[in-house]
Amino acid sequence: MRWTLKPIPENDKVNSLSRALKVEPLIASLLVQRGIETFQEAQKFFRPSLKELHDPFLMKDMDKAVLRIEQAIENEENILVYGDYDVDGTTSVALLSSYLKSYYPNVATYIPDRYDEGYGVSYKGIDFAYDNDFSLIIALDCGIKAIDKVAYASEKNIEFIICDHHRPGKEIPKAVAVLDPKREDCDYPYKELCGCGVGFKLIQALSVKRGLQTEDLLLYLDLVATAIGADIVPITGENRILAYYGLKVINSNPRTGFKAILKQVKKEKLTITDVVFIIAPRINAAGRMKHGNHAVTLLVENDLEKAEIFAAEIEKFNTDRREADKSITEEALQQIINNKEEERKTTVVYQENWHKGVIGIVASRLTETYYRPTLVFTKSGEKLAASARSVKGFDVYNALESCSEHIEQFGGHMYAAGLTLFEKDFENFKNEFERVVSETIAPHLLTPEIKIDGEIDLNDITPKFFRILKQFGPFGPGNMTPTFMTQNLKDIGFGKCVGEDKTHLRVVVKQGNSNQFTGIGFSMAEKSDIACSGKPFKAAYCIDENEWQGNVSLQLRLKDIME
């Protein structure tokens, strides 16, 4: 691990904010690091307001999208709400379809089959729309590169509205409206919305025209918060407001489908991290193992008994997903060792029978192990399909663009992408990808980094300090959980390896005459020599709560330790 201490903010700014907010300088310092320097900025940060959401009509083509939907309703046209099969796509479809159905009946949904149709808008989906008399398709979380598909639909007198957040190519599809804040000609003030966030801006705009308030849309924000967490977009600006209120809905009045999921896992108050690790994988499992329709059905169901049946099905998909993910990861790691590829700058593995639904998760697991840009391929019809994952600071999308002569199709973000290519091009692509990454990646990016917000003493950790720290949430990219460093720690004799397979490290530490704290380091058993030697060491950690037999105490969630 590479420890990087964030720059210490200017004293004047910290002291000024400390006085204005009546908080200790340590809290003020953490705020200044996040760009919050005044009382008003702190107020917006700690008390996000729906009034701070941008006018949806600032988004390019929003007026055209609203007008076309109003026309469709007036003419009693059939509207097909089309979305991708992942969490962002299925929540988007559930959001827009349930909103439209609340006042207009002729609305249906379509999720492409991951295996039969692949990612994004498909010809099969357009044929389905044509065969069933749909004249308007609203595509969510996909469509920004569907030039040929939109043209094909146009030949069948089917019009498109596209709501996407992926990077556009050189050409924009000739749809009635293309809503994408990443369009170069779009002046929308916030560029980091997820697909469901763009869908929310659309229903916000429709609501303005219907004389409704943003507060009337609160119940849809549980879906938006889930997509924000799952799609790993920055939790800053507008996303912070949407995630903040979405979490409130999940914890106070969740939709029936969420209730059914949460009943199975018996979790009460959820953070955005819980949403990412509890709700999102289950919604995702439907599209990975069976079909994304199962997720949409659960998310729009209002009858708890039915929802519980759907949730039980999805729980089974999730169990299957976990088993597939574990076995494929083991096979992929073995392949890297067998091919003596540990020293490469990239990981590119392929096995024709790997389950297409879990290759993205496997790519993330391999990135954790070897910490380098990673691609996991499997056979998909006559082609090979891959999921790409990157390391912090390296744009894998740009790297793929540099290899495009060997790729049939690709799309995605800086840190995650998908692609297809022909089997004959696999080896050439693999070599070219290794060359491009080797020549463009800064060597330090191949070592995982821990960004440390500040050095503190154990005596700084008090219940009041933690209460304020919790209000920094929801946490995520752009506003990560604060990480601290403390030196001269000593285990007081209780340090040991724990867990079923003894892979985790548990210590009880003091710093001089400080209070003692329990520290838990997941998958850190190999550090026990340092922690349990009786010698002083330093630790990088986050602070969280541990609940045991009804007692709640503060603990250190260890990220790394050094002598």
* CA–CA gap between residue 158 and residue 143 (Å, rounded): 14
pLDDT band at residue 296 using 50, 70 and 90 as cut-offs: very high
* CA–CA gap between residue 118 and residue 387 (Å, rounded): 12
Q: How far is CA 100 from CA 76, 78, 138, 180, in A?
A: 13, 12, 11, 20
219-236 pLDDT tens trace? 999 999 999 999 889 999
* CA–CA gap between residue 355 and residue 385 (Å, rounded): 11
pLDDT at 40: 96
* CA–CA gap between residue 532 and residue 520 (Å, rounded): 13
151-156: average pLDDT: 98
pLDDT band at residue 287 using 50, 70 and 90 as cut-offs: confident
* CA–CA gap between residue 348 and residue 237 (Å, rounded): 36
Burial 388-410 (b: 16+ CB within 10 A, else e): bbbbeebbbbebbeebeebbeeb
pLDDT at 169: 86
Of 339, 358, 347, which Cα lies nearest the Cα of 394?
Answer: 347
What is the Cα gyration radius of the chain?
Answer: 25
CB atoms inside a 10 Å sphere around CB 422: 13
484-491 vs 537-548, strand pairing mode: antiparallel
pLDDT above 80: residue 550: no
* CA–CA gap between residue 154 and residue 164 (Å, rounded): 19
What dihedral angle (degrees, nearest 10) is formed by the CA atoms of 362, 366, 372, 376?
Answer: -40
- Percentage of the chain beyond pLDDT 90 is 85
489 strand-pairing partners: 537
Helix or strand (DSSP H, E) at 325 = helix 304-338
454-455 vs 484-491, strand pairing mode: parallel
Helix or strand (DSSP H, E) at 131 = helix 123-131
Those residues with Cβ within 8 angstroms of residue 449's Cβ, 6 or more apart along the chain or in another chain: 1, 2, 3, 4, 392
pLDDT at 268: 73
pLDDT above 80: residue 549: no
Helix or strand (DSSP H, E) at 409 = strand 409-412
AA letter at 409: Q
pLDDT band at residue 98 using 50, 70 and 90 as cut-offs: very high
125-153: average pLDDT: 97
235-249 pLDDT tens trace? 999 999 999 999 999
Peptide bond preceding 105: is omega within 30 degrees of 0, i.e. cis? no
Helix or strand (DSSP H, E) at 402 = helix 396-402
177-210 pLDDT tens trace? 999 999 999 999 999 999 999 999 999 999 999 9
* CA–CA gap between residue 200 and residue 99 (Å, rounded): 10
pLDDT band at residue 267 using 50, 70 and 90 as cut-offs: confident
Assess contact for 350 and 426: CB atoms under 8 A: yes
* CA–CA gap between residue 135 and residue 133 (Å, rounded): 6
Q: Whole-number mean pLDDT of the chain?
A: 94
Q: Which residue has the tokens 């002083």?
A: 536
pLDDT at 533: 87
DSSP state of 180: -
pLDDT band at residue 165 using 50, 70 and 90 as cut-offs: very high
* CA–CA gap between residue 247 and residue 256 (Å, rounded): 15
Q: How far is CA 483 from CA 203, 479, 518, 562, in A?
A: 37, 11, 16, 15
- Percentage of the chain beyond pLDDT 70 is 100
pLDDT band at residue 114 using 50, 70 and 90 as cut-offs: confident
AA letter at 478: G
Question: Alpha helices of 102-189 — where are they, by DSSP H?
Answer: 123-131, 147-155
pLDDT band at residue 547 using 50, 70 and 90 as cut-offs: confident
* CA–CA gap between residue 319 and residue 353 (Å, rounded): 19
AA letter at 487: Q
Which residue segments constitute the domains of the chain, with CATH numbers given?
56-312 (3.90.1640.30), 339-446 (3.10.310.30), 450-562 (2.40.50.460)
305-314 pLDDT tens trace? 999 999 999 9
Quick one: tokens of 12? 């004047």
pLDDT at 552: 84
pLDDT band at residue 298 using 50, 70 and 90 as cut-offs: very high
DSSP state of 170: S
Q: Which residue has the tokens 């979405």?
A: 246
Assess contact for 78 and 285: CB atoms under 8 A: no
